[in-house]
């Protein structure tokens, strides 16, 4: 037994040493010098080679969305690389469809700038900016979710569409030796260009641990955005909002948009939670029921007991869809929650003959 343990320890130490050597060699010995980076056919940028494309673009104040800090686990940082990237890496394949591969789409966090490179990115990313925002307030809305309000620097503004998200940077702290960016949906009104509000649930990761354990009122935080193609779109018919947990955030921003612009559409919001203690923003829901044209907030709880005296719907959110959505109804749905929840809701809506192009979602 001791021999096996010793072998494991030796192999682990050797692996760690090799990893350090490779990292050192790549960073300090492999000198790629200056390379030309051409973006969308414009004049080339002269940049230092060696870093990832994601990092290099960020250094040029061009922000590509990335929710995992460049570890190839989110798949958000896709760009088209027309030349200079080399073959697709195994770490990229799980996130790239055959069509994307054929169109030269790559994960910018995995592509290293070792030679001249030509890329294409969406024009809207040039409008993304980074701000040093101040934490104005932190409120515990449940035992696991905090509502954080940030104030932009004096004289600076941000414009976003209701439903979009921003990224905040979690700096190094005790137990974490790296800076990482994490994505969170915006909960505030798009008419407020001086503040950003986020709901951040504790999940044990680098970003949520920073917010829940270290962030304080008055702290300065790096925030960039806005990002995302999940947002409210004008149209006719009913609006159906479905969410759970911090998926409340973009739906709340959509509700503010409907109120602020006096949109006269029937709106129903289905929200999944475990117990009454997991419900939040209830005062705002009451306000929307009073001020919107035709709005109802309809939560569904999955873990209720008789002692809770809950009078509303129980079970999964799907049950509410089966109960309240008419087959073939003219509606547009906005969904925000876990991938498992999103897929199940999409299936329930499909059974109600809701067209796929009427279903917009943000899975996190």
Whether 216 maps to a domain, the answer reads yes
Q: What is the pLDDT of residue 127?
A: 86
How many Å apart are CA 216 and CA 231, to the nearest integer?
30
Question: What pTM did the predictor assign?
Answer: 0.85
Q: What is the pLDDT of residue 26?
A: 52
Same domain, 202 and 269: no
Whether 22 maps to a domain, the answer reads no
* 296 confidence band (pLDDT: 50, 70, 90): very high
Whether 139 maps to a domain, the answer reads yes
Q: Give the chain's mean pLDDT.
A: 90
Whether 20 maps to a domain, the answer reads no
The answer to whether 265 and 237 have CB atoms below 8 angstroms apart is yes
Residue 334 predicted with pLDDT over 60: yes
The number of distinct structural domains making up the chain is 3
Least confident of 83-92, 261-270, 314-323: 314-323
Q: What is the pLDDT of residue 93?
A: 95
Last residue of a domain, one of 122, 138, 160: 122
Residue 10 predicted with pLDDT over 50: no
How many Å apart are CA 171 and CA 182, to the nearest integer?
11
Same domain, 213 and 284: no
- What is the distance, to the nearest Å, from the Cα of residue 333 to the centroid of all Cα atoms in its chain? 19
Same domain, 251 and 294: yes
Same domain, 320 and 359: yes
Q: What is the pLDDT of residue 55?
A: 93
Q: What is the pLDDT of residue 100?
A: 95
Same domain, 222 and 242: no
Mean pLDDT along residues 334-357: 94
pLDDT digits (tens, 9 = 90+) for 115-158: 999 999 999 898 899 999 999 999 999 999 999 999 999 999 99
Last residue of a domain, one of 201, 227, 253: 227
Whether 8 maps to a domain, the answer reads no
Same domain, 118 and 133: no
Q: What is the pLDDT of residue 12?
A: 46
Whether 109 maps to a domain, the answer reads yes
User: Around 254, how many Cα atoms within 13 Å sit in the side-chain half-sphere?
Assistant: 31
Same domain, 199 and 250: no
Last residue of a domain, one of 165, 195, 227: 227
Same domain, 301 and 334: yes
Share of the chain above pLDDT 70, in %: 91
Same domain, 248 and 339: yes
Classify the phi-psi angles of 101: left when phi > 0, otherwise alpha if psi is within -120 to 50, otherwise beta: alpha
Same domain, 246 and 264: yes
Domain with 80 in it: 33-122
Residue 8 predicted with pLDDT over 60: no
Give the domain CATH number at 117: 3.10.20.30
Mean pLDDT along residues 198-204: 95
The answer to whether 109 and 52 have CB atoms below 8 angstroms apart is yes
How many Å apart are CA 17 and CA 14, to the nearest integer?
5
């Amino acid at each position: 037994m001791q021999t096996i343990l010793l072998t494991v320890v030796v192999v682990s130490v050797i692996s760690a040493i090799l990893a350090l050597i490779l990292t050192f060699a790549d960073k300090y010995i492999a000198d790629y010098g200056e390379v030309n980076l051409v973006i969308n056919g414009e004049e080339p940028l002269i940049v230092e080679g060696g870093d990832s494309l994601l990092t290099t673009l960020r250094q040029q104040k061009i922000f590509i969305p990335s929710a995992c800090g460049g570890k190839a686990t989110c798949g958000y940082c896709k760009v088209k690389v027309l030349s200079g990237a080399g073959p697709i890496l195994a770490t990229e394949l799980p996130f790239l469809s055959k069509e994307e591969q054929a169109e030269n789409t790559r994960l910018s966090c995995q592509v290293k700038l070792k030679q001249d490179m030509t890329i294409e990115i969406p024009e809207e990313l040039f409008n993304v900016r980074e701000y040093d925002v101040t934490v104005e307030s932190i409120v515990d809305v449940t035992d696991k979710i905090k509502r954080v309000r940030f104030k932009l620097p004096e004289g600076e503004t941000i414009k976003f569409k209701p439903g979009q998200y921003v990224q905040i940077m979690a700096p190094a702290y005790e137990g974490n030796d790296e800076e990482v960016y994490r994505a969170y949906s915006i909960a505030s009104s798009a008419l407020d260009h001086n503040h950003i509000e986020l709901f951040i649930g504790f999940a044990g990761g680098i970003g949520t641990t920073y917010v829940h354990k270290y962030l304080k009122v008055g702290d300065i935080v790096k925030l960039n955005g806005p990002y995302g193609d999940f947002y409210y779109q004008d149209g006719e018919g009913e609006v159906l909002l479905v969410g759970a947990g911090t998926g409340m955030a973009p739906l709340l921003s959509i509700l503010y948009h409907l109120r602020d612009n006096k949109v006269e559409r029937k709106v129903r919001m289905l929200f999944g939670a475990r117990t009454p203690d997991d419900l939040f923003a209830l005062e705002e829901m009451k306000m929307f029921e009073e001020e919107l044209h035709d709005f109802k907030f309809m939560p569904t709880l999955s873990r209720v007991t008789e002692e809770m005296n809950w009078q509303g719907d129980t079970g999964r959110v799907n049950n509410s869809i089966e109960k309240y959505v008419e087959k073939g109804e003219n509606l547009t749905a906005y969904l925000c929650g876990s991938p498992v929840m999103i897929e199940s809701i999409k299936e329930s809506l499909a059974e109600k003959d809701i067209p796929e192009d009427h279903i917009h979602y943000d899975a996190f």
